[in-house]
Amino acid sequence: MNGIRRFWGHLSTITRHRHRVIAHCAKAGILWQGLFHDLSKYSPVEFMEGVRYFDGTHSPTEDARRLNGSSLAWMHHKGRNRHHWEYWTDFNLAEKRYTAVPMPRRYLAEMLCDRVAASKIYKGAAYTDAAPLEYLMNGRMRDSMHESTRVLLIRFLTQLRDEGEDAMFAALRSWIREG
């Protein structure tokens, strides 16, 4: 794929993803957050790496990591976007290492909206309401999340799989309001 196609393909993908997240955040009752979702993806460090490794089937950061050992775009992104559990890590003095801390409700809700939207964008017509949970369970990163974050993420994604999007977003709205 040539550079122009990668440029427009990446721009289109991140913009379509962002618009889906905005729609999901509206359903979750956090529209304001959705409007500011992933703006850092348009910054030079994130955007240019995205263009370089874009193929339209998965996140370009995966290829950057595979080829370079790390992704500068991801390191930039996770440090500026509170809807990623990786943002919610801090140095644990007792354990003398970085550990995850619980995510605030509104950011965990945005993370759910983000995961569902990403599955829809990358899966396309093959998307099912089971896809976001399958992606989480097939990966190893869930083991590094704070336990309460992991439990809640699995709870809502299981509800999505079993009861559908409307039920999950209704439960998510209610859960956000409780907090």
Q: Which residues pair with 97 in a beta bridge?
A: 92
pLDDT of residue 136: 94
Q: Which residues of the chain have pLDDT under 50?
A: none
The angle, 0 to 180 degrees and rounded to 10, between the axes of the packed helices 165-178 and 3-28 is: 60
Per-residue confidence (pLDDT) for residue 29, from 0 to 100:
97
Cα separation, 109 vs 130, in Å, equals 18
pLDDT recorded at residue 142 = 81
- Residue 134 CB partners (closer than 8 Å, separation 6+): none
Compute the C-alpha angle 55/56/62, nearest 5°.
65
pLDDT at residue 56, rounded to an integer = 85
Q: What pLDDT is recorded for position 141?
A: 81
Q: What's the pTM value of the predicted model, to 2 decimals?
A: 0.94
Q: What is the pLDDT of residues 143-173, one digit of tens each?
A: 899 999 999 999 999 999 999 999 999 999 9
CB 178 within 8 A of CB 106: no
Instruction: Give 99's strand partners.
Output: 90
Q: Note the pLDDT of residue 162.
A: 98
Q: What pLDDT is stored for residue 117 in this prediction?
A: 97
The number of domains in the chain is 1
- Residue 118: give the domain boundaries: 3-178
pLDDT of residue 140: 82
pLDDT the model gives residue 161: 98
Cα radius of gyration rounded to whole Å, the chain: 16
Local structure of residue 167 (DSSP, 8 states): H
